[in-house]
Amino acid sequence: MVNPSHQDSPNGVPAQHESNTNTVQLARMDAGAPSPSTEALVNSEQGQDANKAHPIISDSTNPWDKDDITKPKRANPNRHDLFVQKMNDVWFLEFSSRGSPLPSWPLSITINALVSVLSSILKSTLLLLVGEAIGQMKWNWFKRGSRPLNDFEVFDSATRGPLGSFWLLLGSKGRTLASIGAAITILSLALDPMFQQILNYDTGIARTGISTLPANLLFVAGFEDKNRIVQLPDAMRTYAVIELYFTGISSDDVQSCILQPQVMYPSGNCSYPVFDSLAVCSTCANVTDLLKTEATDAENFAGSKERMWNYTLPGGFNTSPIPRGSTIKYLSSGHVSATARLRPQFPLQNFTQLTFGFNETGPADANAMECSLHWCVNRYKSKVKNGVLHEDVVASSCTGESNDSEWFHRIDAPRNLDASFVAVSDYVVDGSSGTNRSEKVDATNLTNYWDSITPGKFPFGKNDRVAFAHRGASRLLSDYMSDRLTGYITYNGGEQESSTYNVTDGARRLSQVNNATLSMEILARALSSAVRGYSSSSKGMNDGRVPVGGWSWTSEVIARVLWPWIFLPAILELASLVFLLATVWNTSVAEADIWKNSSLAVLFHGVLQGRIEDPRTVVKDVRLMEKAAEGENVMLRDLGGGHVKLEINAAQDIDKLDKVTSFLPSRDQNISKSLPMEILWWFSSTLVATILYITFKAIKNIFFHPLSHIPGPKLAAASRLYEWYHDCILTGQFCFKIRHLHDEYGPIIRIGPNEVHIRDSDYFDILYANTARLDKDPWFYGFLDDSAAFNTASEVIHQRRISKVESYFSKANVQRNDAVLVDVVTKFLKELDAFEIDGEVVCLKNAFKSYATDVVCAFCFPQGTHYAQGPDFSASFHRGQESFARIVPWFRFIPGSSTLAQYTPDWLVSILPSDTQAAIGIVQYAREQVKKTIETNPQDDAKPNLLSNISRSDLPAQDRTPFVLEQEAIRYIAAGTGSTARCMENAIYQILSNPTLKTKLTTELRSISSPPGDRILGTHELEQLPYLAAVVQESLRCFPAVFSRFPRINRKESMRYDRFTIPPGTVMGMSNSDILSDPSVFPKPEEFIPERWLDTTNRSRLLRYQVPFLRGSRNCVGQNLAMAEMVLGLGNLVRRYDLSIFETVKGDVEVVEDCYVPLTRKGSLGVRVLLTRAG
């Protein structure tokens, strides 16, 4: 029986009921409202405040307490924050993994596994967030008017997954804001496959370190003695080489040679630099035209006469009479070649291959080939892939066919056509008969034997370049030839069939090769492998290996990020935020409280569902619900003010309380922000406004900007994020991207919202003319402080500042300070002498940077530096500079970051890496020089310097402060160090890579009267040398100081290029590297050709386009000093030493990043050389 009586307390909360009545109160416990003492609160175990309002309400009844709606309520941690955090985690993980080998983590955890976990958390957080928002939209839906009761189920189903969301979209609720959440829930089904597609995997891409290829017969030029007889260096003095050169190899150990050199590499793949190695080569010629056939009657095996045929060649080849039969192949060796083409090579072994058949009348289809196996030097390009060595011969010293081979232009390369390798007999032959052998020729008496040779003994002069390989080495060939190719045993007299020979698989494959040329090539490769390979340890053939270093590549999986697949997750992240904000806005407009998505919907639709005849009945008043509840012995009453009381009268029905409370929410489970609603609204409004502004700005830039007619990518026109991505995310790639864009769009392109770039050699002088007087782009140079002349954007202010230092950098003043520069060069060369004495490798990258820094500081400031005397040429300082350069692009996109960096506190500097501290040390040096300049009395200053010229000038006081002087000093050091050093380093690499160039330059430099090591040459002497000047000019052309563009702004008038009009205020730029590599001006621009500057007829035209120091009023003010640095450094270095490259490949000097200064790949040691003092 329902007990309808109850007594309300003054504040509207029910008073205590009789003891036989169990009451469940659902109420919003406002501040000051007492807690019922005897009533059981819903979810009392989970929380005290259910924070509920009336779930079903008519248009005329509004029991909601509006005073409480605006009160901020505490919430659980915000789900959207967690969602964004996990989204960022996934992005960071995938971005940090791109282009790198997959890491090895404990328990075999992979990136995919981690991405799956993060994406699962992300997805579940997204669904929880959206579900709560849909639940809130449910209450807003019922708050706005009378609704069918089964709408509870529709909304609640939508909060549980994609199927319910689908029905929500199909129903009338698709017209509500809740449909956005339903769409997000459905689209979330694609999140998992999307995240799995973001990471793609390749193999064999990332380099892991240096590997070595032991090439024990590596050819090294320059170890000949005075008679030009090959003298083996210690590294090559092995049994394998000695026997090969002097006694031949005839032992069985040869058969156990590994035909592929052993490779030592830390991973499964490796790519080696090109190297030269002693090898065996083959040459073949068709001599069928010289073949003579003679018929004769001879006895056969039965003793009767039979017609037979005999074949002869002019070189001595002669077959015994051959009877009529099937096709026959003959292979013979040991005779003199019949062709002049093969004779000059002095082969280790000659072979004649003869094949013929018979027809009804006699022999037919005869074919004769002569082949020669001889010593050569091969240039190998090697790589290891999946543990297997692959070698390609890219050049050979003695092909015998092409005189265009580069070997024919190398004075130190052995060439068989010039009788470089000669096979001699075992013994010195006394007497003309050649029968008396008295002295064995070996490594100890070979030179004496050569000296005793009488003129005319051999068909070459005594002073010819020759090297001896012993004739006995032919036994090495015989060992491979015997019973291997054709089933015949080869010997000097001819051949005979071997009936007992068992042909191996490898031999069978060779014997099936019918082409003699191919057969010899296969044999030559096998012999070369044997020569360069290893035999048993008893012969000592593993001694003295010469390693060829190369980059090894990992065979692990490399992660690639496919960014288009991140589109949907990003859209869902943004959409969920919009839906959340829309829910908060809708709730505020409806003046509804913040509710949990389930709550009383379960109560009404679950406990009371059976008492309602039609679930679609529109419930207009809570009294209808009260009436329906009476049949369940449940009393549901509206207490007003948002309070609803549920009473269970019978003690036996207490279990109904558990059913009800199990569905109700815990305390304060809602979607409200942890911040007050006002802050959330302000933040969301600002975010939406920002997004709208960026969108509209991008549309305006693309379609309605004055530069919209300029071709180029739309993304670049929309915003600077295009440049940010290529320069900051990809690290210094935008200048290379600009080149590709020119190839695609033409000579003029739009590379930014208000910037164009032009590639036209003839327009360079127009844009950067002295009369143009254009300003620098302040944004592009924003990473530098504007107080120094170099960084000044305004052309007027720049001219005022630069006029005080132009005379200091004039050619006349540089020449007056020649003694200062020579002193720096002398100290630099003295340091190199120590490396030469110790036989240590010199890293020219660090050496030239230290040299250039010392030159600039000695020339410009009161006291010079001594970086060249630092450990390894102050390598730590230069590493720090390079690391700093790589973050320079970020300074452009983070306003004020460069200024903030200038005021880095000392305590922070002290905890930075040592390399960074060393680089920052230049700032302290600049401060000391400024202080010294200011404290020096002008009358006592015997040698004015750059800083004194500025500080004592008539510039305004703000242009002469200590801070300005400090900035000027830092800029001149930075500008004059890396650029010149890089140019010199690349020049040395080009000189040493081209023997002809090296010879020309060395000859010119050493033609000066005094010996190379006597004294240091000054600028005046070196500038008179034409070939050195040509080398310097070509170095400046090929390796300019800056690869990037030089943006300028004409603020006064429009400019035209071709048919395009460029309005005032537009940023216009060109890159001098484009001009210096223009093939229409400099033929073969990628090649280093100093001779182009010696052509007097074309020199003036080349100089017009020679713009390494830019042009106009903003050109490099220190170009005269830079030229003097290069002339002094390169001239004296090449004159004083014989240099050779050490473990340096082209990739060590190639520019792969441009962070305003050109940079090589990370980890590159640059050009490394070995020094030998010139005699």
Residue 301 lies in a domain: no
**330 and 239 both lie in a single domain:** yes
Least confident piece of the model among 905-909, 942-946, 981-985: 905-909
Q: Could you tell me which of 1016, 1031, 989, 1004 has the C-alpha nearest to residue 1128? A: 1016
Helix (H, G, I), strand (E, B) or coil at 10: coil
Cβ neighbours around 360 below 10 Å, total: 6
pLDDT in tens, 307-316: 788 888 776 6
The two structure tokens encoding residue 55 = 């779930």
- pLDDT at position 364 is 64
Together in a domain, 1048 and 1036: no
Look at residue 255 in the predicted model and tell me its pLDDT. 30
Domain membership of residue 308 (yes or no) is no
DSSP-derived secondary structure letter, 550: E
Region 594-621: mean pLDDT is 41
Q: How far lies 23's CA from each of 15, 16, 40, 106, 1097, in Å?
A: 11, 9, 6, 56, 110
CB 842 within 8 A of CB 872: no
Could you please report the per-residue DSSP string of 563-582? GGGGHHHHHHHHHHHHHHHH
Long-range contacts of residues 629-632, Cβ cutoff 8 Å, at least 24 apart? 630/2, 632/607, 632/608, 632/656
Residue entry with tokens 């018929």: 295
Please indicate, yes or no, if residue 97 is contained in any of the structural domains: yes
Confidence label for 139 from pLDDT (cuts 50, 70 and 90): confident
How many domains does the chain fold into?
Answer: 4
Asked whether residue 680 is domain-assigned, the answer is: no
pLDDT in tens, 466-524: 333 333 334 444 444 443 343 333 333 333 333 333 333 333 334 444 566 776 776 67
Same domain as 885, residue 754? no
Q: Rounded distance, CA 5 to CA 538, Å?
A: 114
Give 164's pLDDT tier (boundaries 50, 70, 90): confident
Per-position DSSP letters for 723-742, written without gaps between them: HHIIIIITTS-HHHHHHHHH
User: What's the pLDDT score for residue 738?
Assistant: 95
Q: What pLDDT was estimated at residue 684?
A: 67
> Residue 989: pLDDT above 90?
yes
How far apart CA 309 and CA 296 sit, in angstroms, is 6
Same domain, 983 and 1124: yes
Of the three residues 517, 532, 551, the one that is the final residue of a domain is: 551
Largest CA distance in the chain: 147
Contact between 501 and 511 under an 8 Å Cβ cutoff? The reply is: no
Lowest mean pLDDT, pick from 152-161, 233-242, 732-741, 866-875: 233-242
CA dist., res. 503 & res. 486, Å (int): 9
Given 516, 551, 586, which residue is the final one in a domain?
A: 551
Are 769 and 893 members of one domain? no
Q: Is residue 640 a part of any domain in this protein?
A: no
pLDDT at 574: 79
User: Is position 1116 annotated in a ligand binding site?
Assistant: yes
Q: What is the rounded distance in angstroms from the CA atom of residue 1034 to the CA atom of residue 693? A: 50
Residue 152 zone, left/alpha/beta (φ > 0; ψ -120 to 50; rest): alpha
Per-residue confidence band for 117, with pLDDT thresholds at 50, 70 and 90 = confident
236, 124: one domain: no
pLDDT recorded at residue 1090: 94
> Considering the domain boundaries, does residue 688 fall inside one?
no
Residue 512: what residue type? Q
Question: In CATH, what number is assigned to the domain containing residue 867?
Answer: 1.10.630.10
Count the Cβ atoms, other than its own, within 10 Å of residue 1012. Answer: 19
Domain range for 882 is 804-1041+1077-1173
Same domain, 866 and 953: yes
User: Does 666 fall in a domain?
Assistant: no
Catalogue the E-assigned strands of 206-348: 207-214, 269-271, 275-286, 292-299, 305-312, 322-323, 328-333
Residue 20 falls inside a structural domain: no
pLDDT over 60 (residue 427): no
Q: What is the pLDDT of residue 208?
A: 60
State the pLDDT at residue 448: 45
Q: What is the pLDDT of residue 424?
A: 36
For residues 95 and 150, state if they share a domain: yes
Question: What DSSP string runs through 24-60?
Answer: EEE----TTPPPPSSSEETTTTT-S------SS--SS
The answer on 792 and 810 residing in a single domain is no
- Of 551, 579, 596, the last residue of a domain is 551
Digit-coded pLDDT (tens) for 568-597: 777 877 787 788 788 877 777 766 655 443
For the ranges 774-788, 922-936, 1010-1024, the maximum mean pLDDT occurs at: 922-936
Most confident of 193-207, 564-578, 844-858, 893-907: 844-858
Q: Per mean pLDDT, which of 69-73, 172-176, 1133-1137 is the most reliable?
A: 1133-1137
Which residues pair with residue 307 across a beta bridge? 297
Report the DSSP pairing between strands 1060-1062 and 842-843. unpaired
Residue 441 has pLDDT above 60, yes or no: no
Residue 1171 to residue 841: CA distance in whole angstroms? 8
Based on the domain organization, do 263 and 399 belong to the same domain?
yes
Do 268 and 146 lie in one domain? The reply is no
Q: Same domain for 138 and 216?
A: no
**pLDDT: is 187 or 1089 the higher one?**
1089
